Amino acid sequence: MVLVLTPLADAEFHPPVLLTHSDGPASSEDPGYASPCLADIDGDGKMELLVGQFSGGNIAVYPVKDLTAKSEQLGKPTWLMSGEKRIEVPGVW
């Protein structure tokens, strides 16, 4: 299988939005390098926001409530887990 990516000459981006949950904005630990993405990781048909944590290589998971809301678009974060073990990205300090 070959994946061909073509440029989107007419692509437009929406203005940035600060994503928040009840305790404040979605964030990553210092020094940052979050690499956020949206995915349905639990197969429930709803998206979760995954935010990488450079320190320790952990991944925070924020349940998405409503990305169009003015406040609290996200649920409280948990760590991405495999059973009882926190998933860690190898090679990260």
Q: Is 49 inside a domain boundary?
A: yes
CB 74, CB 21: distance < 8 Å: yes
Beta strand 58-63 with 48-53 is: antiparallel
* pLDDT given for residue 1 in this prediction: 63
Q: Is 43 inside a domain boundary?
A: yes
Residue 47 has pLDDT above 70, yes or no: yes
CA 15/CA 52 separation, integer angstroms? 22
* pLDDT given for residue 4 in this prediction: 65
Q: Is 37 helix (H, G, I), strand (E, B) or coil?
A: strand
Q: What confidence tier does 84 reach under pLDDT thresholds 50, 70, 90? A: very high
Would you say the C-alpha torsion 66, 71, 76, 79 has a positive or negative sign? Answer: positive
Q: Is 11 inside a domain boundary?
A: no
pTM over 0.85: no
Q: Is 65 inside a domain boundary?
A: yes
Q: Is 63 inside a domain boundary?
A: yes
Residue 30 belongs to domain spanning = 20-86
| Count: domains in the chain | 1
Tracing tokens 């979605």 back to the chain, one arrives at 26
Q: What confidence tier does 85 reach under pLDDT thresholds 50, 70, 90? A: very high
